[in-house]
């Protein structure tokens, strides 16, 4: 189909620019996430004195150069993922040792990073599955140890430092069992010396600085390169059934069935990874729905509904974007009834969360809102001649599920269960096909258009 080609070519070509944009708007939240990650490991018990003695292994290789172990003999064919199953950090305020046990050969490159001071260990494809992660709790010179996937075929360990350090030895050796053990020793040094090392490594390992500017956003779900993430949110669920039609249709079932159709259609329409906030008939708070989108680093969030109105003659689809001020009384009432979903399930409002959301929203929402509005307009454009719309189909309201400051979000009312004809359409397989087709088209055009 014509628009499919358009979508994949243009999206892939412009994706880098888009990522940069998103990185800018995402800085606030990443900083917050790092804070949370950092505080999680604050409490740790000191290891026994006997373990802190460090046996320094001098290595012939350049201290900040790369090390490759001898190829493991029983591995044939392409490079497989090594599993890091053992990890341990030893040391005190003067010196430290990191040990990592692996079940296969890896290429390793260690280097320094500044602001704040860190040691970074890049490894070829490694899955981190430490049996006792507590053994890597920070101590002495080390403020934090993080690890994760950086990009396809590249993994990284980041050691945040309390003091500048100098690597005094590193080694990767094969054990008798055919496994591998990596050790890295470092000791406290002066700030000047640390800066000198950073200057020197630029010459030695060439691309270290290139790697460095990528940052170390670890422990966040790794997104697949060249792909966009879309989170679909089937409204209501479980104890909260949502609206009920005059012929017995139930909103929570309609939204889920349509979301599942959409998932299939959007997935096959371009470089899109689609997730649903729920796949079964269970309750999810509004905040949980938003959290899923944030966790997936969604590029687009679509909440799907089909509500009732007192005015039974009103029918057609409508798209809502977030605004503190509702565009009209009608939009305000609808937002109030949607937001009540949490109260139905007995969840109280969380003022603190709302305040954080508000502060972040102020920082980042301008860009996000622009995208949300663009997508809403795209839907209205595509629907205009194909799917029935209400009067003024793009409206503003303070919906809780639209409050993520990073993810462009819309709430889509597919139609109104209070209207007999709309109810019939919402249950009709043919109409659902049509809706799915046109909404998928709007998604494709949104990603093609917003990055020009």
Q: What is the nearest approach in angstroms of Zn ion to the Cβ of residue 255?
A: 7
Q: Do 62 and 204 meet the contact criterion of CB atoms below 8 Å apart?
A: yes
SS3 79: coil
Give, for 437, the enclosing helix (H) or strand (E).
helix 429-449
Closer by beta carbon to Zn ion, 138 or else 235 = 235
Smallest distance, Zn ion to C-beta of residue 3, A: 29
* Torsion sign (Cα): 7, 9, 24, 262: positive
Identity of the residue, 191 or 336, whose beta carbon is nearer to Zn ion in the bound complex: 336
3-state secondary structure of 234: strand
| Choice between 86 and 242, CB closer to Zn ion | 242
Nearer to Zn ion, 168 or 322 (CB): 322
CB of 182 to Zn ion, least distance (A): 53
Place of tokens 């997508």: 375
What's the CA dihedral at 414, 416, 417, 420 to 10 degrees? -110
- Minimum distance, C-beta of residue 251 to Zn ion, in the bound complex (Å): 5
Distance of closest approach, residue 404 Cβ to Zn ion, in angstroms: 18
| Rounded least distance, CB 64 to Zn ion, Å | 57
Closest to 262 measured CA to CA, from 3, 436, 427, 425: 436
β-strand pairing of 228-234 with 300-305: parallel
Residues 6+ positions from 70 with CB-CB distance below 8 Å: 105, 174
* Assigned token pair, 100: 């990592």
In angstroms and rounded to an integer, the radius of gyration of the C-alpha atoms of the chain is: 26
- Among residues 325 and 340, whose Cβ is nearest to Zn ion? 340
Q: Which residues would be at the binding site for Zn ion (CB under 5 A)? A: 235, 242, 305, 307
Nearer to Zn ion among residue 166 and residue 315 (C-beta)? 315
> Which residue has the closest beta carbon to Zn ion?
305
| Residue 242: strand, helix, or coil | coil
Indicate the residue among 164 and 242 with the shorter CB distance to Zn ion: 242
Tell me the DSSP string of 378-415.
Answer: HHHHHHTTTS-EEEEEEEEE--GGG--SSS-EEEEE--
Distance of closest approach, residue 313 Cβ to Zn ion, in angstroms: 19
Task: Tell me whether residue 305 or residue 403 sits nearer to Zn ion (CB atom).
Answer: 305
Q: What SS3 class is residue 331?
A: helix
Main-chain phi, psi angles of 69, to 5 degrees: -80, 165
Q: CB within 8 A of 81, min separation 6: which ones?
A: 104, 125, 126, 127
**Smaller CB distance to Zn ion: residue 139 or 305?**
305
Backbone angles phi, psi at 26, to 5 degrees: -90, -5
- DSSP designation for 214: T
| Closest separation in Å from C-beta 327 to Zn ion | 18
Query: Which of 282-297 are b and which e, b meaning 16 or more Cβ less than 10 Å from the residue's Cβ?
Result: ebbbbbebbebbbebb
Nearer to Zn ion, 146 or 289 (CB): 289
Decide whether 59 or 307 has the Cβ nearer to Zn ion. 307
Hunting for tokens 């503003």 — which residue is that?
396
Contact call for residues 289 and 345 (beta carbons, < 8 A): no
Least separation in angstroms between CB 211 and Zn ion: 47
Q: How far is the CB of 295 from Zn ion (least distance, A)?
A: 23
CB of 307 to Zn ion, least distance (A): 5
């Amino acid at each position: 189909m014509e628009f499919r080609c358009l979508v994949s070519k243009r999206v892939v070509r412009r994706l880098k620019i888009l990522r940069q944009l998103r990185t800018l708007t995402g800085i606030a939240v990443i900083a917050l996430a790092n804070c949370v990650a950092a505080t999680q490991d604050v409490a740790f018990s000191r290891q026994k004195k006997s373990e802190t003695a460090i046996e320094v292994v001098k290595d012939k290789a350049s201290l900040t150069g790369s090390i490759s172990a001898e190829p493991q003999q029983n591995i044939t064919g392409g490079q497989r993922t090594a599993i890091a199953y053992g990890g341990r950090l030893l040391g005190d305020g003067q010196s430290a040792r990191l040990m990592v046990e692996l079940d296969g050969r890896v290429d390793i490159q260690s280097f320094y990073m500044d602001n704040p001071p860190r040691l970074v260990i890049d490894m070829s494809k490694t899955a981190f599955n430490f049996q006792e992660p507590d053994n890597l709790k920070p101590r002495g010179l080390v403020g934090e140890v993080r690890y994760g996937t950086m990009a396809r075929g590249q993994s990284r360990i980041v050691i945040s430092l309390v003091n500048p350090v100098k690597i005094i030895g590193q080694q990767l050796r094969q054990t008798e069992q055919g496994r591998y053990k990596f050790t890295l020793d470092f000791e406290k040094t002066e700030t000047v010396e640390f800066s000198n090392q950073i200057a020197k490594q630029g010459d030695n390992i060439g691309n270290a600085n290139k790697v460095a500017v990528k940052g170390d956003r670890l422990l966040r779900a790794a997104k697949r390169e060249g792909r966009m993430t879309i989170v679909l949110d089937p409204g209501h669920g479980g104890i909260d059934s949502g609206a009920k039609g005059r012929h017995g249709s139930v909103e929570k079932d309609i939204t889920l069935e349509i979301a599942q159709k959409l998932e299939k259609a959007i997935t096959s329409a371009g470089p899109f990874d689609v997730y649903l906030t729920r796949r079964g008939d269970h309750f999810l708070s509004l905040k949980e729905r938003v959290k899923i989108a944030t966790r997936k680093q969604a590029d687009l969030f679509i909440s799907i509904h089909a509500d009732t109105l007192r005015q039974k003659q009103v029918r057609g689809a409508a798209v809502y974007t977030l605004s503190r001020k509702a565009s009209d009384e009608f939009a305000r009432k609808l937002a109030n009834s949607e937001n009540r979903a949490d109260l139905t399930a007995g969840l109280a409002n969380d003022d603190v969360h709302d305040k954080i959301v508000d502060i972040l929203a102020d920082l980042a929402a301008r860009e996000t809102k622009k995208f949300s509005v663009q997508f809403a307009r795209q839907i209205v454009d595509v629907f205009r001649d194909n799917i029935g719309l209400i009067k003024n189909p793009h409206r503003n309201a303070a919906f809780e599920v639209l409050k993520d400051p990073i993810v462009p979000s819309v709430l889509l009312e597919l139609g109104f269960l209070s209207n007999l004809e709309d109810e019939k359409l919402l249950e009709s397989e043919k109409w659902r096909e049509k809706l799915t087709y046109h909404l998928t088209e709007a998604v494709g055009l949104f990603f093609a258009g917003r990055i020009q």
